[in-house]
Amino acid sequence: MYMYVRSNVYMVVPISQFRKDIFSLAEAALKGTVVEFTHKGVTYRVVPDKPSDKLSNITPLEVINPKYSLESAAVELQAEMEKEWEKDWSQL
């Protein structure tokens, strides 16, 4: 029996499925999904010893073009916006 509530936040599996997918279910529990399995009518909950830090799971975004600086992009954007403002103001 599988139970999914709110996009994999809660999961109940039979012991045979738990045994088959133990590593992926342990990873899911580590990421905050409630994982439970049943055996002989008893329900067991898998809970990590230490709660995981969600921020530590974030992978940094690679810069696509390291030669292009954000500072120069900001200057270019500011200049472009000022040009458009002046064009709008000249019509007043």
- pLDDT tens column, 7-38: 457 778 888 888 998 888 888 888 778 888 88
- pLDDT for the residue 82: 94
Task: Provide the token pair at 40.
Answer: 């002989």
Q: What percent of the chain has pLDDT over 90?
A: 13
- State the pTM of this model: 0.45
- pLDDT for the residue 77: 92
Spacing of C-alpha 65 from chain mean position: 24
Give the Cα separation of 52 and 50 in Å (integer). Answer: 6
